[in-house]
Amino acid sequence: MRKEFFTIFIMFLFLTSPLLIISAKPSSQYSSPSYLLLNNWVNQSIWVVTGIPIPNPQLNGFPLYNTSIRNLYVGKYGIVNLTVNFDVLTTSAYLNLNNTINLISTNGNISILTPPNTPYILILFNTNSSTSIYVKTNTTILHVNSSLVRIYTIPVIYISTNASYIIQNNTEKIIVYKGKWFVELSVGAQPNFNISGLSKLNEMEIGKWLNSSKLPTGLPTNLLKEYYLSLLLIKDDQNPYLGTFAASPSPIYLYSWVRDSAFSAMALQLAGHYNSALKFWLWLSNAGQLQSGVWYTRYNFYDGQPDTTFGIPELDGIGLYEMGVYQYYNLTGNVTFLKQILPTIYKSVKYQIEMINESRYHLLPQDLSVWEDREAYHFWTEAINDLGLKSVAEIYRALNFSNYTTILYYEKELNQSIIGNFWNDNYFASALGVSVVFEGGKSETILSPEPPSVDSATLLPINLGYLPPTSNYSVSNFEIVNKTLLTTGGLARFPNDMYHYSQSLYDATAPEPPWIITTLFEALYLEELGKYNEALNLMNWVYDHSQHGLLPEAIDPKYAYPLPTTSPLTWSSAMFDIVALNYKPVTNSQSTTLTGYYVLGIMIAIVAIISIIIILRRR
């Protein structure tokens, strides 16, 4: 019965999905994404440049592309040399709950979809005036008949359409007039021609996938839609062949960061989508490493090769891997998976223990950590690795390995070292640097906080179990972070944060933009305290500052518009779904109130029945 009701509810969400666009309330400025990814869940992915402009694109380091489909990725073949360019002026763009990208232009509407488990890409037009589409490649285009061409790429691609076309060198120009038109790309397969059938198949498969998702408890309809849309965004941002996740469809973030990807995989597995998560964990278990037990910071989204030039070292990936694979096991009970990845776990633990032993502070080495802003000892990195060691101990215990006690010994040593070194009167310092103190003719090397030391990144490890949320450390740290960094309703990363303003990116009007993930760090902490109404308010704030439900990295601190250069951010969607699944609004007091209403209702019914009996007897 519940399953049938849920299926009907998903259909309701499909039918009302335009309300997702209307009810989200971002500033009209930058309310649509400039880039999106779509994939067929098997081996194909496309990168859609929506045509929504990025401010100062050259200053921000962006290529100048018009509205187009690019980076046609086909599994073992890699990126195929083919682009689809649209001669339109896009005014709005969004992702629907049927996993279709809609582009609203001055010429009408364009819908782009990649039906799951098929080799087809559909482009549907509902135009109010004539326009042209240009399919460009570097190889031969052969006219087959009036509605079909064959392109000799590897693999071969067929393009069918009900519009007219002409071939000019290595370009097919398709001309559409006022009305409804289609273009079907068949990648490595014969053309389908059944456009309505493919559209229905897309609706059915997307609905089935969403229907299989774990249902959050008690979310209002707008946030439930956001939950599902965020799941689709994460799914679309995964390489369906390798398992890597793009940090964002934005070209400057079109890489697979270990950190962001780990949270994306965890969000999917918490929602019940184990196969997608498994694909990532297996890929990461075999990915090239910087050194034994240590991953590179990020990898190429399309071929999985490490980026050997960026953000080295970052050591939080070790603990996140350990946490993620243990969570996967905990959810699935898949012992075969644990045994398969044991060599990778062993390398990670060996590195962690060696570093703790060699360090005079009993910490992991300095790294760039979560914000990649400075090399230091970071609370985030150390606490995440502490959680990773706890996870490994549980894995070893599950496999009946007696040496899990050794892991717990080093976890305890690291835990105590973190508190001893990072606690700074009433909060956890974000980063520690090495200083030399001279006293009495002697020198001593010590660790001391580096400014800015108050940081929202200190919240999440506590949420995930580094310390009890009600401990004095946790409560005091939260109060300082919230008091220092709350801005425009959300939470900034740290004081005087210049990223997006005058450092690297330039799309904010002031320093300290509130970030979506950090605001959700706060929401998750409030949930751990049982303050669900306050958490719900933050989730609504996040939703209200989206791009038609797609969550950006950060919000302008003055004008509250989504910062467009890095939107949508996959980690933002993952973090929203993690918080949504942790939302449990019914408290004991609410249960008591509901019970009272039930009792009152029964009493009223009894009184009514007695009254009817008395009236009937009098007759």
* Average pLDDT by stretches of 10, the chain with 619 residues: 54 54 55 97 98 92 95 98 97 97 97 98 97 97 96 98 96 97 97 96 98 96 98 98 98 98 98 98 98 98 97 95 98 97 98 97 97 97 98 97 97 98 97 89 89 97 97 98 97 97 94 98 98 98 97 97 97 98 73 44 51 50
Query: Is the residue at 10 inside a domain?
Result: no
Query: Is the residue at 594 inside a domain?
Result: no
- Counting other chains too, the contacts that 481-486 makes at CB distance below 8 Å and 24 or more residues apart are 481/427, 481/454, 481/455, 481/456, 481/522, 482/522, 484/454, 485/454, 485/456, 485/512, 485/518
For residues 193 and 223, state if they share a domain: no
For residues 288 and 430, state if they share a domain: yes
Average pLDDT, the chain: 92
For residues 184 and 219, state if they share a domain: no
Q: Residue 549: what pLDDT? A: 97
Query: Is the residue at 554 inside a domain?
Result: yes
Q: Which of 578, 543, 549 is nearest to 271 (CA)?
A: 578
CATH of the domain at 561: 1.50.10.10
For residues 562 and 452, state if they share a domain: yes
Query: Is the residue at 344 inside a domain?
Result: yes
Number of independent structural domains in the chain: 2
For residues 481 and 534, state if they share a domain: yes
The DSSP H or E segment spanning 448 is strand 442-449
The number of beta carbons lying within 10 Å of the beta carbon of residue 505 is: 23
Q: Residue 374: what pLDDT? A: 95
What whole-number distance in Å separates Cα of residue 375 and Cα of residue 312? 9
CA dihedral of residues 149, 153, 157, 158 (deg, nearest 10): 10
Query: Is the residue at 20 inside a domain?
Result: no
For residues 453 and 385, state if they share a domain: yes
CATH of the domain at 67: 2.70.98.50
Type of residue numbered 112: I
For residues 44 and 167, state if they share a domain: yes
The label of the residue with tokens 């849920």 reads: 6
What whole-number distance in Å separates Cα of residue 336 and Cα of residue 226? 34
For residues 179 and 243, state if they share a domain: no
- In degrees, to the nearest 5, what angle opens at C-alpha 524 toward C-alphas 392 and 505? 95
Ramachandran category for residue 473: left, alpha or beta (phi over 0 → left; psi -120 to 50 → alpha): alpha
What whole-number distance in Å separates Cα of residue 545 and Cα of residue 25? 6
For residues 241 and 358, state if they share a domain: yes
What whole-number distance in Å separates Cα of residue 365 and Cα of residue 408? 20
What whole-number distance in Å separates Cα of residue 497 and Cα of residue 508? 11
Question: What residues make up the domain containing 406?
Answer: 213-582
Q: Residue 582: what pLDDT? A: 98
Query: Is the residue at 21 inside a domain?
Result: no
For residues 176 and 248, state if they share a domain: no
Q: Which among 189, 206, 223 is the end of a domain?
A: 206
Q: Which of 170, 173, 148 is nearest to 159 (CA)?
A: 148
The label of the residue with tokens 């989204």 reads: 301
For residues 180 and 243, state if they share a domain: no
Q: Residue 444: what pLDDT? A: 85
Starting at the edge strand that comes first in sequence, how are the strands of the sheet with 377-378 ordered? 377-378, 431-439, 442-449
Query: Is the residue at 373 inside a domain?
Result: yes
Are 307 and 257 within 8 A, CB to CB?
no
Query: Is the residue at 602 inside a domain?
Result: no
Are 188 and 74 within 8 A, CB to CB?
yes
Q: pTM of the predicted model, to two decimals?
A: 0.92
For residues 178 and 283, state if they share a domain: no
Q: Which residues contact 118 (CB under 8 A, 6 or more apart)?
A: 40, 192, 198, 201
What whole-number distance in Å separates Cα of residue 122 and Cα of residue 356? 54
Q: Is the dihedral of CA 545, 525, 228, 505 positive or negative?
A: positive
The pLDDT > 90 percentage for the chain reads: 86
Are 450 and 432 within 8 A, CB to CB?
yes
